[in-house]
Amino acid sequence: MHERDYASHSSGFLRTLLSILGLIFVVVMLSWGLRTFVFQAYEIPSGSMEETIMPGDMVFSEKITYYGSSPAPGDIVTFEDPDPLSSGRILIKRVIAVGGQTVDLRDGRVYVDDVLQDEPYTRGEPSYALTPMAGIDISYPYTVPEGRIWVMGDNRTNSQDSRFFGAVRESSVTGRAIFIYWPLSNLGPL
């Protein structure tokens, strides 16, 4: 190979390599930006949200909604587990009440501000009080502190939720679950 052909070949290879590395960098940064600021995918590990979301379902949780507003009753939210021993674990539950509202559990039914809640997603399962985790004091009726939300799993007989760990800080919410994308048999909006 002539000296000029070798130099031309080397610079072409270097340009191609730099182009590929640049493309990889752009893809990684775009992926990181979307995951950090727009949406996150989660696999559901437990049955606490059955029949709405089943164990093994994969859901998208979007983050944009809560940049300009707060979680509202009925929203299905993802949030950081408030148990300090479960650092980094993300949970998914339904918002039942927000700061300033009062939650009461009477005869297995949920009342918010003395209004019986219509909760067809629980399939009629009772909503009884749970023994709170150590260091948490919950007595009913319970007024949710400002800046916090009261969350419960749809599968009330198989869910450790605010009845167990208390009201959750709004700042710990990582997004609003909006869509099941896997398995295809469960595909659809939430």
As annotated, the active-site residues are 48, 93
| Of the candidates 181, 174, 180, 186, the residue with the CA atom closest to the CA atom of residue 149 | 174
Residues 146 and 99 sit within 8 Å (Cβ to Cβ): yes
Burial class (CB in 10 A: 0-12, 13-18, 19+), 77: buried
What amino acid occupies position 99? G
Collect all residues with Cβ–Cβ distance below 8 Å to 179 and sequence separation of at least 6: 59, 60, 188, 189, 190
d(CA 86, CA 83): 5
Residues 130 and 162 sit within 8 Å (Cβ to Cβ): no
What amino acid occupies position 9? H
